[in-house]
A and B are shown apart, each in its own frame.
Chain A
Amino acid sequence: MSYIKKYFILKKHNFKVGLIKAKRSKNCYIFLAPYAILFFCFNILPVLSSIFLSFTYYNVLESPRFIGLDNYISLLLDDDVFLIGVKNTFMFAVITGPIGYIASFLFAWLINELPRWIRTIAVIVFYAPSIAGNLFQIFTIFFRGDIYGYVNAFLIRVGIIDQPILWLVNPTYMMPICMLVTLWMSLGTGFLSFVAGLQGVDSSQFEAGYMDGVKNRWQELWYITLPNMKPMLLFGAVMTITQSFGVCDVTMQLCGFPSTDYAARTVVSHLLDYGSTRFEMGYASAIATILFLVMILCNNVIQKALNRVGT
């Protein structure tokens, strides 16, 4: 009994201390307020309401009707197309995500030692594809299904094929092409933050490292550069997860929406199908919520892995 009482006294005390601390740091709250208010309105509130909507039937016109877990049950058990989407998104997350992440770091690291003007050009060349808007549509010209497509024309001239291949209509080739295009665009936000972060690594640490017998560039990378880059590595990881789980623009614009046999469907394009074409917002919200949970899980795993870097 007295323990419970003590516990509450302690809680009360902690609360009071917190209140005093909060009063002292009034200025901090004033600084944070503009962001916090906007963030609540346009990020937290929509997220919460979409989690709520995932338990309802909501077609935008009528008010939402509570149906419990029905959305989740039909999503996971009855929806074959969703499973194709999960498979494809998983492929993106497992193949293009890590390759893009590692390539971002590797390229940023390699160009870091180049003379400045070469480095500038290299950064622009590597980064440009990801900011060029819808430029990836140019790949529809490369991979066009008739003989005017560059890839077909080239392969026919070389003699590997004698008939044009319908690259973006044939389910066999869709996913590899989408992955290629995604990789082309994957040196994005993370890459830039790596480049900026690498410049900030203190050079006296490298000197200390040479004294201590760091033999080659790989040891230097593991023991000096990477531990210094942890905040940026974390940022890059979060960006990569968001991008590779959110793949949909590339598949939708290259392979069509819907694509043949749904072969290029991803989780997000499935979500868009239900959200903006069929107006089943409840169902779409359920998809989003599942995606969200998987991403958080994935993020936690990667953060744990990054904490082991350099040990």
Chain B
Amino acid sequence: MSKKNKEVVQKNRRIRLKRRKPNRSRVGDFFLYLFLLLVAIVMALPMVFAISSALKPLEELFMFPPRFFARNPTLDNFSDLFVTMGKSWVPFSRYLYNTVFITVVGTVGHLVVASMGAFVLSKYEFPGSRTFFKIVVVALMFNGYVTSIPNYLILSKLHLIDTQWAVIIPSFSAPMGLFLMKQFMEGIPMPLVEAAKIDGANEWGVFRQIVMPNVKPAWLTLIIFSVQRLWNDSAATYIYTEKRKTLVYALQQIQSGGIARQGQMAAVSVIVMIVPIIVFILSQSQILETMASSGLKD
């Protein structure tokens, strides 16, 4: 091979490497993304519909043929909903406060407790560690419905029934959080941990300064899951006192008001839907951010 030829080959190779994926055909890209676009439209349709029917005036909700989009969009349903809320026995902000309290405390506690456990399970080997993790994975599968009765008995022994803690404390130990954190922490190279130890950090230091900042994507993911779960938890089994009830529970009461409240019902489902999605949108952008700059590639 001549020298010139070699140069050309190397140049080509360099160009190929610059494009991120040199082994893609344009036709394939086109059809795959067209397909993806179609799927995305179908997936989004029910959500768009929910929003548009919350904006419909009452007479449009019962129209034949039914229309997909509101012809005269109004916010009447939402204002009606606020009127109904204002008439409730307990001030509505109380329900909101309860849910926010449960969601925030439960999520923060879950994050701390689960990542501490996940940290030692993923980075150290000690008697019982493997067995414990295996049990957690198995527990991931037990259906929550049947354990609710024994759970109730335990909570009542601890005098936690009819307080928010009945929802908060069991949520700390959700097996999913630990599982998720451990799977991600496995990806942190052990030399990094050892280097920190040589520099004089103890376990707590390693955990707080090395491991946690580096698994930011994982804990954001955990926050999303936890918020979503706690926000949608109506807690009807554990909480009876009206002023301790959650927002979702109160909204469900409005929702079950029958056909006259069809419009408010649509407004309620939009409100319940929108909060977890907004939390997700906010933290999602952060996930991509931290992922791009995580700098752990060795």
The yes or no answer to A116 lying at the interface (CB within 8 A) is: yes
Say whether A263 faces chain B, with CB atoms less than 8 Å apart: no
A153 near B64: Cβ-Cβ < 8 Å:
yes
> A127 near B: Cβ within 8 Å?
yes
Interface check B101, CB cutoff 8 A: no
Known pairs A138-B46, A296-B141; A21 contacts B147 (CB<8 A): no
B17 within 8 A of A: yes
Q: Name the segment of A1-9, A33-41, A70-78, A170-178 touching the other chain.
A: A33-41
Contact of B146 among A111, A128, A285 (CB under 8 A): A285
A248 / chain B contacts, CB cutoff of 8 Å: 145
- Return the CB mask of B214-235 against A: 1 if under 8 Å, else 0: 0001100100110010011000
A238 to B137, Cβ gap below 8 A? yes
Q: How many residues of A contact B (CB 8 A)?
A: 101
> A34 touching B141 by the CB < 8 A rule?
no
Check A139/B141 contact, CB under 8 A, given A35-B117, A148-B66, A196-B291: no
Partner of B288, one of A42, A120, A126: A120
B280 lies within 8 A of A128 (CB): yes
Which residues on A sit within 8 Å (CB–CB) of B183?
193, 231-232, 234-235
Interface residues of B in 71-122 (CB under 8 A from A): 113-114, 116-117, 119-121
Known: A184-B43, A238-B179. Contact between A31 and B203, CB under 8 A? yes
Enumerate chain B residues within 8 angstroms of A27, measured Cβ to Cβ. 120, 202-203
- Judge whether A122 and B173 touch: CB under 8 Å: no
| CB–CB A271/B145 < 8 A | yes
Does A242 sit at the interface, judged by CB under 8 A? Answer: yes
Instruction: Evaluate contact between B269 and A134: CB separation under 8 angstroms.
Output: yes
- Report if A137-B269 is in contact (Cβ < 8 Å); known contacts: A128-B280, A148-B62: yes
Query: Are the C-beta atoms of A207 and B17 separated by less than 8 Å?
Result: yes
Give the complex CA separation of A124 and B50 in angstroms. 16
State how many angstroms separate the Cβ of A90 from the closest Cβ of chain B: 16
Residues of B within 8 A of A93 (CB): none
- B21 near A217 (CB under 8 angstroms)? yes
Residues in A neighbouring B129, C-beta threshold 8 A: 28
Q: Say if the beta carbon of A241 comes within 8 Å of chain B.
A: yes
Docked complex Cα distance between A207 and B49 (Å) = 44
Residues of B within 8 A of A28 (CB): 120, 124, 126, 129, 203
B57 sits at the interface (CB 8 A): no
CB under 8 Å from chain A, chain B span 246-298? 248, 269, 272-273, 276-277, 280-281, 284-285, 287-288, 291-292, 294, 297
127-164 of chain B: CB within 8 A of chain A: 127-129, 132, 135-143, 145-151, 154
Within 8 Å CB of B277, what residues of A?
A: 124, 128, 131-132
Residues of A within 8 A of B142 (CB): 43, 47, 288, 292
> CB within 8 A of A210: which of B22, B49, B127, B141?
B22
Could you tell me the distance in whole angstroms from the C-beta of A66 to the nearest C-beta in chain B? Answer: 17
Q: List 18 A-B contacts (CB under 8 A).
A: A28-B126, A32-B121, A34-B116, A41-B154, A50-B149, A50-B150, A123-B284, A124-B280, A127-B280, A128-B47, A196-B291, A199-B292, A200-B294, A207-B17, A217-B28, A242-B141, A271-B143, A288-B145
Residues of B within 8 A of A (CB): 16-17, 20-25, 28, 32-33, 36, 39-40, 43-44, 46-47, 49-50, 53, 62-66, 68, 113-114, 116-117, 119-121, 124, 126-129, 132, 135-143, 145-151, 154, 169-170, 172-173, 175-176, 178-180, 183-184, 186-187, 202-203, 207, 217-218, 221, 224-225, 228, 231-232, 248, 269, 272-273, 276-277, 280-281, 284-285, 287-288, 291-292, 294, 297
Please give me the 9 A-B residue pairs with the lowest Cβ-Cβ distance, nearest first: A35-B117, A288-B146, A38-B173, A46-B147, A46-B150, A25-B126, A28-B120, A42-B170, A132-B273
| A-to-B contact residues, CB < 8 Å | 18, 21-22, 25, 27-29, 31-32, 34-36, 38-39, 41-47, 49-50, 53, 60, 107, 110-111, 113-114, 116, 119-120, 122-129, 131-139, 141-142, 147-150, 153, 157, 184, 187, 189, 192-193, 196, 199-200, 202-204, 206-207, 210, 214-217, 220, 231-232, 234-235, 238, 241-242, 245-246, 248, 268, 271-272, 275, 281, 284-285, 287-288, 291-292, 295-296, 299
